[in-house]
Amino acid sequence: MKFLVDAQLPPRLTRWLTERGAERAIHVGELANGLTLPDREVWQVAKGEGWIIVTKDADFLDLSTIYGSPPKVLLVRYGNCSTRTMLDRLVAVWLELNTHLEKEDTRLVIATPDTLEIHRR
């Protein structure tokens, strides 16, 4: 799987994803003008490249509802927490999360401190 990490999340997350077997993971800041791209353009880039968008931005929930998939979206809703806390929470659910993201019919996964909410096409 290939991941595009959105601007609100730390670039360190790309390394974390790669260490867990991601084919590729880049931060939006690595794209030309990436940190200033509107969400719809980030969406189009991810769709064209086959990336899963990893974000805290609820606008991508709206885009997923309107346009469906691809791209898939992982919406991280852990609130205002440290990078370490976010990564620890992702570690705890990574196997299940990875399984859902690999499924063809998954369009959106919302990760909260208590659950994974899976949305299918």
Read off the tokens for 15.
Answer: 């390394």
Residues 87, 85, 70: CA angle, nearest 5 degrees: 40
Q: Helix or strand or coil: residue 5?
A: strand
* Amino acid identity for residue 23 in this structure: E
Q: Helix or strand or coil: residue 42?
A: helix
Which of 56, 59, 71 lies closest to 106, judged by CA?
71
pLDDT of residue 36: 87
CB atoms within 10 A of CB 40: 11
Per domain, the residue ranges of the chain are: 2-120
pLDDT of residue 69: 86
Rounded Cα distance between 44 and 81, Å, is 29
Judged against a pLDDT cut of 90, whether residue 12 lies above it is answered with: yes
pTM of the model: 0.94
Mean pLDDT over 37-64 rounds to 94
Chain segment 21-40, per-residue pLDDT in tens:
999 999 999 998 878 899 99
Computed over every residue of the chain, the mean pLDDT equals 94
Where does the pLDDT of residue 52 fall: very low under 50, low under 70, confident under 90, or very high at 90 and above?
very high
Chain segment 74-95, per-residue pLDDT in tens:
999 999 999 999 999 999 999 9
